[in-house]
Amino acid sequence: MKKIAILASGSGSNAENIIQFFKHHPNIQVDSVWSNKRDAFVLERAERLKVEAHPFSMDEFISTDKLLNEFKKREIDLIVLAGFLLLLPQKFVREFLVVNIHPALLPSYGGKGMYGVHVHNAVIANKELESGITIHLVDEVYDHGKVLFQAKCAVESQDTPETLALKIHELEMEHFPRTIEALLSGSD
């Protein structure tokens, strides 16, 4: 059985979608959900779905190996970043396979500070004709690792950051779990 640990900072709609997708999967399970914010709604979602939920401190994340060792003890095969806004320390990237989803077509509109509505504002301000999602492996640089999958959507002249966010969210819900499944099914 392949095990996933999800790291998230916010409400957790992507995390919930992933948990539901793998709920009865014969070979892959979501082991646990972790958040750097004690009040993140993702922790409540995980508990409601009967998945262990754990907040962690910045010290545990950056200065100690507590979190890293916990993932090793749990024999985590993949760390999934689902709305996780911190740059992963190199020790995680060296020890684990890590995947992220970004709400734009990388390499455009990536990097520090480019998340959520900031991305959609920039796409619309630059009058782009399309946007989309990028699912990629994580390395030591924001939004930089090998691209695993991209999906596109049209950006219409009447789109606002909010309407574009809805289009992007639909792509995330459809493609993120399937891309995770393909990644884990191909790595034995």
CA pseudo-torsion sign 83, 84, 87, 89: negative
Number of domains in the chain: 1
Q: Which amino acid is at 34?
A: W
Looking at the predicted structure, is the pLDDT value of residue 108 above 90? yes
Looking at the predicted structure, is the pLDDT value of residue 188 above 80? no
Collapsing DSSP to helix, strand or coil, 148 comes out as strand
Two structure tokens written together for 153: 């959507």
- CB neighbour list of residue 188: distance below 8 Å, 6 or more residues apart: none
CA pseudo-torsion sign 131, 21, 6, 50: positive
Two structure tokens written together for 149: 């999958």
Please give the Cα distance from 148 to 137 (Å, whole number).
7
Catalytic residues: 102
* Region 151-178 average pLDDT: 97
Dihedral angle computed from the Cα positions of residues 34, 36, 40 and 46, in that order, rounded to the nearest 10 degrees? 0
- Domain around 53: 2-185
Dihedral angle computed from the Cα positions of residues 167, 131, 137 and 171, in that order, rounded to the nearest 10 degrees? 20
Measured in whole angstroms, the distance separating CA 62 from the mean position of its chain's CA atoms is 19
**pLDDT of 132:** 98
- CB neighbour list of residue 154: distance below 8 Å, 6 or more residues apart: 129, 130
- Give buried/exposed letters for 1-31 (b at 16+ CB in 10 A, else e): ebbbbbbbbbebbbbbbbbebbeeeeebbbb
Two structure tokens written together for 82: 């689902």
* Region 74-95 average pLDDT: 94
* Region 102-111 average pLDDT: 95
The model's pLDDT over 14-47, given as tens digits with 9 standing for 90+, comes to: 999 999 999 999 999 999 999 999 999 999 999 9
Q: What is the CATH classification number for the domain harbouring 131?
A: 3.40.50.170
